[in-house]
Chain A
Amino acid sequence: MDPSSPGLEGHLAQRGITRRQFLRFCGLMAATLALPARYTTRIAEALSTAPRIPLVWLEFQDCAGNTESFLRATDPTVVDIVLEVLSVNYHETIMAPAGQMAEKSLQDTVEQFPGQYIAIVEGAIPTKDGGVYCTIGGRTAIEIVREVCRNALVTIAVGACAWDGGWPAASPNPTGAVGVKDAVPGLKNLINMPGCPMNVANLTAVIVHYLTFGELPATDSMGRPLFAYGHIIHNYCPRRGHFDAGRFVEEWGDEGHRLGWCLYKMGCKGPQTYSNCPSVQWNEGTNWPVGAGHGCIGCFAPRFWDTMSPFYERLPNVEGFGVEASANRVGLGIVGGVTAAFAAHGVVSAFRARRHPLAAHEEEGPPVQTDGGD
């Protein structure tokens, strides 16, 4: 590490970015992290003086979706992150070297900065048959993830796959895929940022939090940062007024759809999903799935491929939905469902049993969004 590095602010100044703009970014970060505005100065001080911490980004059973998300970072952009904020030493997709020289960059970081680097993990780790389903340079993912994460300062598991196995672990999980928390039992300083993919606005905020306070932000019982995963989408959704008033989209493209009514009847999983999507949104706040006109598919939730599909079936109904009080009960019933899913992932049948009779004709949703990769 190089403590004499002038820090982010100095570099931004070189690029003609003013102190005011820099402070605005720090204020935005404080807001994303749900911190009081007075923390803006503290974040600014920390970022102005922080040394460049080494970072390695591991990819296993993944589609590089979180990498793509990372490339959409703004303020600081990925350019700032790569050149000035952190020292990104290993990232298969975007690094210049390949093959043995790339692996050397990883080994160098682990050996030269033990306990001092950030490890980001993307993708699931297959454990079946000795881990043969994912090897890099002849080594298994499980061997690599254990070595790299156990020696890291902190580990950030990005995306659903690195959290609980995600899509590779969806039933019947042919490769025995798991997330980091199960691949490296007892790992300290692990933070989970599920999502398909995670939202880079939240990753940036976690890193800023770490650089500012020297520790990771507070998490829930599943290791997810509360600022991003602390609230149910449904409670912050701009369409909530329509839900409460009983105004629902009934068919794709109908008048309600065009007027932005609630997507609950089209299968929206917002009442069951903890995420700050409605406030932070995606691609620099441009939009989010519900904003575009499609229900939430619950990609921030545990084992969502199994527990949230079929994506177009409505969530278990409570009598008289469309009334404020029962809407909250929807939320309550669902928390129970998620807990059960997490324990045993038998929640789909639980949902089926409790489905509202009106939804009976939707018993088998169309098999869309199915990915048959090989």
Chain B
Amino acid sequence: MHAVCSVRAVENALQIQIPDNARLIRNIIEAAQYVQDHVIHFYHLHALDWVDIVSALEADPADTADLAQSISDWPKSSADYFAGVQNRLKAFVETGQLGLFANAYWGHPAYALPPAANLMAVAHYLEALDWQKEIIKIHALLGGKNPHLQTYLVGGMAVPLDPDSQSAINAHRIAQLKRWAAQAHDFVAQVYIPDLLAVASFYKEWAGLGGGVGNYLAYGDYPQDTSGNPSSLWLPRGVIFDKQIGNPPQALDHREIREYVTHSWYSYAEGDGTAKHPWEGETRPNYTGPKPPYEFLNTDEKYSWLKAPRYQDTPMEVGPLARMLVAYASGHERVRELVHQVLDHLDVGPEALFSTLGRVAARGIETLVVAEQLSVWIDELAANISRGDLAIHNGERWHPSTWPAEAEGWGSTEAPRGALGHWVRIKGGKIVNYQAVVPSTWNGSPRDAREQRGPYEAALIDTPVADPERPVEILRTIHSFDPCMACAVHIVNRHGREITRVKVA
């Protein structure tokens, strides 16, 4: 995601328009990323906050089969199949080495699923691990490898197209892409979405918890043409304040973005109460925290390595929920249809969207919409190729000799976990400033100069915690944002303490 964002920033600075095929290849890669990432998030990074693995051992596989067959046509749903999964799990538990599953909160009273549903979720946890490594081969084909694709270029993509060559994307490779796209879609439609709805129906109280700041920002993504015009974005761009989804979202102007470091371990030349647009941004570390090892972090002072981005001085949530709300308010038909279906299925009103459960549901809705669209873009690429349009790169500004003496630009994308922006200033053929504002700084930001809380912090307020020593409720809300894992341990610890303190006070 950083790769596409960085090339877009430079393309914006140098005013380069990419060929249509490059646009489509980028869309296909990104769509595959969404589908794979969201499914991994649901099953492997978030499910165990809702699913009790130990309880799955007590399930009657016949009950699980009944449940699974009642919600989906997925073929792997027999009692024998679930019995096999359960046996495997039993054999694993009997070794006494619980590995990744040791020391979790099994048996916690906040777990609400019956054993049959827990066993179904465990089976799909394992299936999803096998599935994700298959469908991500779309990236290997178009990017050389996953993770860390290598074919992004300023001006296009290094992916040759040629129906008559074995060394380019040809009919055979289009067919491979189509097969993986179908595999991706089927799992989402037949496993992920039914599981999501089944699990959510046991946790409806979470439709009233974990809301947060109530302001949402999406840069939008998946251009439908190469104009660079925001109106071409298939997932629309926009800003929503105070949960107002009844009207179209406000237009987004990136110049309204400012970052604070008041409570962040950085300093600004003009004082830490000031805010800076990324083009003027500074990244000068200024650690003032306790000397490690430490137990306590004083959050009255600076307390985070994340800066605090604000839009019009307001904290904004980014991510699948923000994107789906902006799409909904913009009148995106398929998104509106699915949002209504999910609300009806769970028998909750639209206010349920602004919650932990709303965040989890929005991620599922988005995965399905994107999985449906994936094969559309593959077809469009194939149609271009068969028309003889093989262009993949605009090389007019490839050589630095063609650049203006000075240029500035910004590139945006919607990473699976939220809005990502890169800002670049170029002078004399060299970068003079480069700033990235990443989704987890929006969502996980510390307080700003006006002491406004960021989305994670705001979302945790009023969260009931049954057992402060085992705060699974905190994990549910924090994980619902899909925090960047590089920061996760730090953040969870910090808020774990903060909530305990709130309760005591």
Contacts and interface: CB of A to CB of B under 8 A. Distances in A.
A172 interface: no
A349 interface: no
Interface string B107-150: 00000000000000000001001101100110111111111101
Contacts of A297: 150
A64 B417 CA distance: 15
Contacts of A11: 88, 91
Contacts of B55: none
A350 interface: no
Contact of B97 (A87, A251, A291, A372): A87
A130 B436 contact: no
A121 to B, nearest CB: 14
B200 to A, nearest CB: 20
Interface residues of A, number: 99
B475 A98 contact: yes
A292 B141 contact: yes
Interface string B7-51: 100100000000000000000000000000000100011001000
A89 B158 contact: no
Nearest to B155: A252
Nearest to A95: B100
Interface string B279-297: 0000101010111111101
Contacts of A133: 285, 287, 305
A132 B293 CA distance: 9
A76 B2 CA distance: 31
Interface string A99-136: 11110110010000000000000000000011111011
Interface stretch (A20-28, A33-41, A215-223, A253-261): A253-261
Contacts of B393: 251-253
B472 to A, nearest CB: 9
B96 interface: yes
A294 B139 CA distance: 13
Interface in A283-306: 283-284, 286-294, 297, 299
B103 A373 contact: no
A258 B292 contact: no
A69 B133 CA distance: 9
A299 B144 CA distance: 13
Contact of A14 (B88, B156, B390, B435): B88
B43 to A, nearest CB: 10
Given A63-B486, A101-B103, A289-B151, A139 B158 contact: no
Contact of B140 (A132, A143, A287, A368): A287
Contacts of A59: 485-486
A291 to B, nearest CB: 7
A374 B436 contact: yes
B92 interface: yes
Interface string A331-374: 00000000000000000000000000000011111111111111
A297 B143 CA distance: 13
B146 A72 contact: yes
B103 A370 contact: no
A325 interface: no
Interface residue range, chain B: 35 or more
Contacts, number: 282
Contacts of A257: 158, 160, 168
A364 B306 CA distance: 32
B422 A372 contact: yes
B360 to A, nearest CB: 17
A139 B297 CA distance: 12
B104 A253 contact: no
A78 interface: yes
B404 interface: no
Contacts of A131: 292
Interface string A63-86: 111011101111001110011101
Interface in A201-254: 251-253
Given A102-B489, A104-B103, A294 B154 contact: no
Contacts of B306: 374
A367 B431 contact: yes
A45 interface: no
A92 interface: yes
Name which of A68, A130, A288, A362 has the most chain B CB atoms within 10 A of its CB. A68
Interface in B372-408: 390-393, 395, 398-401
Contacts of B6: 368-371
Contacts of A100: 493, 496
B48 A196 contact: no
B136 A253 contact: no
Nearest to A68: B147
Contacts of B488: 92, 98
Nearest to B289: A132
Name which of B6, B160, B295, B393 has the most chain A CB atoms within 10 A of its CB. B160
Given A95-B100, A293-B168, A361 B435 contact: no
A143 B292 CA distance: 10
A283 B133 CA distance: 7
Contact of A367 (B104, B141, B430): B430
Interface string A42-68: 000000000010100001011111011
A81 to B, nearest CB: 10
Contacts of B70: none
A45 to B, nearest CB: 21
B431 A370 contact: yes
Contacts of B294: 138
Interface in B286-314: 287, 289-295, 297, 305-307
Contacts of A139: 292-293
B167 interface: yes
A292 B159 contact: yes
A258 B100 contact: no
B283 A88 contact: no
A260 B97 contact: no
28 contacts: A5-B95, A14-B88, A52-B97, A64-B486, A68-B147, A79-B126, A92-B489, A94-B44, A94-B100, A95-B101, A98-B488, A98-B489, A99-B493, A132-B291, A132-B292, A137-B489, A175-B285, A252-B158, A286-B141, A288-B144, A293-B160, A294-B153, A297-B150, A370-B6, A374-B283, A374-B307, A374-B436, A374-B441
Closest 9 CB pairs of A and B: A260-B167, A289-B144, A282-B145, A292-B144, A252-B393, A96-B104, A283-B140, A286-B140, A258-B162
Given A74-B133, A258-B160, A292-B141, 13 more contacts: A65-B148, A68-B147, A71-B40, A72-B146, A89-B97, A91-B100, A98-B488, A130-B292, A253-B393, A257-B168, A258-B167, A284-B133, A374-B305
Interface of A: 1-2, 5-6, 11, 14-15, 52, 54, 59, 61-65, 67-69, 71-74, 77-79, 82-84, 86-89, 91-102, 104-105, 108, 129-133, 135-140, 143, 174-175, 196-197, 251-253, 257-260, 266, 282-284, 286-294, 297, 299, 361-374
Interface of B: 2-3, 6-7, 10, 40, 44-45, 48, 53, 84, 87-88, 91-92, 95-97, 99-105, 126, 129-130, 132-133, 136-137, 139-148, 150-156, 158-162, 165-168, 283, 285, 287, 289-295, 297, 305-307, 390-393, 395, 398-401, 422, 424, 426, 429-431, 434-436, 438, 441, 470-471, 475, 485-486, 488-490, 492-493, 496
